[in-house]
Structure 1
Amino acid sequence: MNMNSMLYLVGFLLATMCLLVLGVNVWVLIDDLRTIDVPPSVLHPVKLRILHYGFHLTTTWGNIFEKMKICSMSQFVCFVQDSLAPKENLGMFVKDLHFGTIPVRIFHPKAASSKPRRGIIFCHGGGALIGSLDSYHNLCAFLARETDSVLMSVGYRKLPYYHHPSLYYDCLNASIHFLNSLKVYGVDPSRVVICGDSIGGAVAAIVTQTLSSRTDIPKIRAQVLIYPVLQAFYFQSPSHLTNINIPFLTQEFFITCVCKYLAIDLSWKDTMLTGASISPSAWKKYEKWLSPENIPKRFKTEYRPPESPTPFNDAAYLETKHAMNVDISPLLADDKIITQLPEAFIVSLHWDIVRDDVLLYKKRLEDHGVPVTWHHVVDGFHGCMLLFDKKFFSFPCSVNIMHAVVSYIKGL
């Protein structure tokens, strides 16, 4: 091959690559504009569209790289996410440790204290697919500084290599280790809070339920559940039917995360969404907790119940029934467990696909005498808290939630 032919081939390959990149980017933009709904009460709607386009584009390229066997989608998204989040320690001593094989990051205020501090166990969100110690570093440093607390952030195992129950066991075991080591960190055993957002909020609730009857370790003082994902099998509530295309947790992304986390074949997605995978006996058992009748009317203004129930699919039930286990769906815990739980601070977002599950869990806690402080954000969308320090890309709802969480923890 002569030099001219070589240059022609290189030029052709570069042009083809540029066209491919441009084509993917334009396709994602058109798809985003066509499908994504920006809530009417969210301030800075253009900013939200730009952010979601960036997220959609990143996950799309991640899926392309995964099909090309370059790296997994979650690895690529985490790489981008971490690269765009420069870390600030904000007056904290920060140390990376391992509790056994579990990576954790400890945030300890530099200022001296005359008495033991409160402790915070933090479990980050990300659908078990994305999110990391680094992407939540600034949030955890801010939370530790503003509440004058020693905070442990758990770097649990995630997809694509680890499925349920890895996340749960990592957070549970790290929590037990921390609770057994409070003296080492100068933490008051009577003031330990467990906190998490999204799936991190779910695992915070599950760990709290698991440890509620333990007498060999300090009791958790309070649970801070920030738009938690509290069940993974019933998708017919008003928020699941009306908030399907709201950033950043669309119905498609949500059900994909659920299936991947629970090792359910993606071919069952549509069946799960219609409710055909819930057996009549299971619904009879859980209807008292999950029925839309338990949701306040003001959250059902756009809700239209399905005209007729979808026929039960026994094969789908057998493939997906483990989603009803309480170590996945803490909303379904027995009454005797619920009554033992510590007080809770619960954040719900109006424009969130999992909003109603949060409201239902709030009701369950209150019905059993568990004190609940409820913070509802009318302009909030799933994942917004993580943007609180992103300057131009921050939102009022992001700052609102952070300040509410800090205020609640400081008041304990």
Structure 2
Amino acid sequence: MKILLMKSAGTSPRSRTPLWYRLAPEHRYPAQLDDCETATCHFLSVAEAQFSVDSRRVAVGGDGTGANLAAALCQRLAGREVGHLPFPCAQVLVYPALQMADFNLPSYQQNHAVPILFRGRMVFYFLQYLNGDMSVCQDVLEGIHVPTELKPRYEDWLAPSNLPPEFLARGFSEHPTPEYDGQVYHAIKAGLEHEVSPLLAEDAVIEKTPPTFILTCEYDVLRDDGILYRKRLLDFEKDVTWRHVMDGFHGMINFFKQGWLTFPSAAQVVDSVVDYMKTL
């Protein structure tokens, strides 16, 4: 079993192969996704000949932004003719960032100031990825970038009622419907497309999703992205494995075996991924 890990820096164990991609702000979308596609297709084409790896047992995955790229990559590959190349056998998404439509979900409200990922910084990172236009940051936080005609569909997919009740226990307030601003939408409209927001993909795209592992952390603004994506997949009876770390926060995997900075729950994240990979 081989997993291609979407990463921007660092090293990886032998069982994983990192895919390095160009970084923002020097490079904007879709450069990063294009790099991941190029590297993945190349690896799949030479896996058996050069690495003695069964190309039918290659998964893709990542954490945070890397998980976004892994999910978007699977959707892109599913929608294209890739000839003789096999489709990834699974996607491994560790606390994934999956949508730019709603930054007022319960997890964004409950964990807005929880290190190491703050609510406002998530919008900042998305905008840096897209085009670097920070002037619309507050507008996107408020939600005025979503066209009126798209709101009913997004509300169906992103409604807090789609979350298990226990994730509403810490409280949240229904965000009032903001007034749409077309100028803001046109500044960020690529962010609402499924290659940036995989959670917002059309049903026909979701139906082609490979078996999926999703890990979420309780104290993470991105928690609900992963849980809501799981629901969309389950609605189409897709194969989904979900693990939730109750005392975890965003970036936990970076605190695995880090001496005095080690968090016990980081081991839960790593063990959960390893256990899932063993099932493939």
TM-score range, shorter chain: over 0.9
| Contact in 2 for aligned 1:212/1:219 (Cα 8 Å) | yes
Distance between the aligned counterparts of 2:181 and 2:188, measured in 1? 11
CA RMSD of aligned residues (A): 1.5
Distance between the aligned counterparts of 2:150 and 2:86, measured in 1? 35
Shift of 1:264: 4.4
2:178 aligns with: 310
Distance 1:280 1:303, change over 3 A: farther
Aligned identity (percent) is: 33
Kindly indicate whether residue 5 of structure 2 is the aligned counterpart of residue 122 of structure 1: yes
Shift of 1:215: 4.6
| Contact in 1 for aligned 2:97/2:222 (Cα 8 Å) | yes
Matched residue type, 2:220: D
Kindly indicate whether residue 201 of structure 2 is the aligned counterpart of residue 333 of structure 1: yes
Distance between the aligned counterparts of 2:269 and 2:172, measured in 1? 30
| Contact in 1 for aligned 2:214/2:243 (Cα 8 Å) | yes
Bigger mean CA offset, 240-249 vs 284-293: 284-293
Secondary structure, aligned partner of 2:242: strand
2:27 aligns with: 162
Distance between the aligned counterparts of 1:329 and 1:189, measured in 2? 27
Secondary structure, aligned partner of 1:180: helix
Distance between the aligned counterparts of 2:200 and 2:178, measured in 1? 22
Of 58, 65, 74, the residue aligned with 1:208 is 74
For 1:132-151, list aligned pairs within 5 A. Answer: 132=9, 135=10, 137=11, 140-141=12-13, 144=14, 149=15, 151=16
| Contact in 2 for aligned 1:264/1:320 (Cα 8 Å) | no
For 1:169-184, list aligned pairs within 5 A. Answer: 169-183=34-48, 184=50
Distance between the aligned counterparts of 1:352 and 1:193, measured in 2? 25
Shift of 1:357: 0.9
**Which of the pair has more CA radius of gyration?**
1
Secondary structure, aligned partner of 1:380: strand
Of 106, 117, 129, the residue aligned with 1:238 is 106
Distance between the aligned counterparts of 1:278 and 1:363, measured in 2? 22
> What's the TM-score, normalizing by structure 1?
0.65
Kindly indicate whether residue 257 of structure 2 is the aligned counterpart of residue 392 of structure 1: no
Shift of 1:285: 2.6
Distance 1:308 1:211, change over 3 A: closer
What residue ranges of structure 1 are gaps of 5+ in the alignment?
A: 1-117, 125-130
Distance between the aligned counterparts of 1:374 and 1:186, measured in 2? 30
Q: Comparing both chains, which one has the higher relative contact order based on Cα–Cα distances under 8 Å and sequence gaps of 6 or more?
A: 2
Matched residue type, 2:71: A
Distance 1:190 1:267, change over 3 A: same
Kindly indicate whether residue 71 of structure 2 is the aligned counterpart of residue 188 of structure 1: no
Secondary structure, aligned partner of 1:164: coil
Kindly indicate whether residue 20 of structure 2 is the aligned counterpart of residue 152 of structure 1: no
Distance 1:307 1:331, change over 3 A: closer
Matched residue type, 1:120: I
1:323 aligns with: 191
Cα deviation code 1:330-360 (max 9, x no counterpart) = 1111212211221111101111101111111
Matched residue type, 1:203: L
Distance between the aligned counterparts of 1:314 and 1:219, measured in 2? 38
Secondary structure, aligned partner of 1:122: strand
What residue ranges of structure 2 are gaps of 5+ in the alignment?
A: none
> What's the TM-score, normalizing by structure 2?
0.94
Distance 1:363 1:312, change over 3 A: same
Distance between the aligned counterparts of 1:345 and 1:409, measured in 2? 9
1:30 aligns with: none
Of 361, 369, 372, the residue aligned with 2:237 is 369
Distance between the aligned counterparts of 1:367 and 1:267, measured in 2? 37
Of 135, 152, 173, the residue aligned with 1:267 is 135
| Contact in 2 for aligned 1:248/1:383 (Cα 8 Å) | yes
Secondary structure, aligned partner of 2:55: strand
Secondary structure, aligned partner of 1:201: helix
Distance 1:293 1:215, change over 3 A: farther
